[in-house]
Structure 1
Amino acid sequence: MINPKKLEEIAKQVSEALPPGVKTIGEEAERKVKQVLQSQLNKLDLVNREEFEVQTQVLLRTREKLMAMEQKIADLEAKLDQDNNDIAEK
């Protein structure tokens, strides 16, 4: 779900931003940053790009079906009104 390479990149950037004296413990800091990032990201309710794209397509199809149904209802209401008008005229 979460791209480990992206986590490594973020952890590396954080590690590189540390002052030179702290860089001596860089590997440990990088590992800890990765752990914290992974832990916090796992708490989020995220979906991967593939799941997002699938749901986007589902939503588009649903929207198309809804629009078609709305048009059918409008057509049926118009026909019903016309039928009621024809009955009233008789």
Structure 2
Amino acid sequence: MLSQKLFDEISAKISETIAASPAKDIEKNVKAMMAATFARMDLVTREEFDVQQEVLARTREQLAGLEARLSALEAASAPAPGSPEEQANLGLS
């Protein structure tokens, strides 16, 4: 436990030193500069990204369903093999 207490004391002293040093001002200035840069960039929030990801997933599901439905309709409307309609389409009549 002595080592944990010593570690905590050293950590507190380092934090106090950094808070009183110019490093704290530099950190604050860098954060402000980065925030301004990010504000100028056309970035989206995580929430907006997640919403768009859900929309895309639903759209993909709908597309897969429509593709399956189209395939079924095409198969149902295709002439049977050997039928006069198919032979006419192939120029065999």
TM-score w.r.t. length of structure 2? 0.58
- The 5 Å alignment of 1:1-90 reads 24-82=21-79, 86=83, 88=85
Name 1:8's counterpart in structure 2. none
Aligned length: 70
What is the distance in 1 between the residues matched to 2:82 and 2:71? 16
SS in 2 for 1:47: coil
Name structure 1 gaps, 5 residues minimum: 1-22
Q: Which amino acid aligns with 1:32?
A: N
SS in 1 for 2:79: helix
What is the distance in 2 between the residues matched to 1:26 and 1:55? 40
Cα RMSD of the aligned pairs, angstroms, is: 2.8
TM-score w.r.t. length of structure 1? 0.59
Provide, for residues 1-32 of structure 1, a one-character-per-residue CA deviation record: whole Å limited to 9, x for no partner: xxxxxxxxxxxxxxxxxxxxxx8322331221
Select the structure of larger CA radius of gyration: 2
Percent of residue pairs identical: 36
Distance 1:74 1:82, change over 3 A: same
Name structure 2 gaps, 5 residues minimum: 1-19, 87-93
Report the CA distance between 1:54 and its aligned residue. 1.2
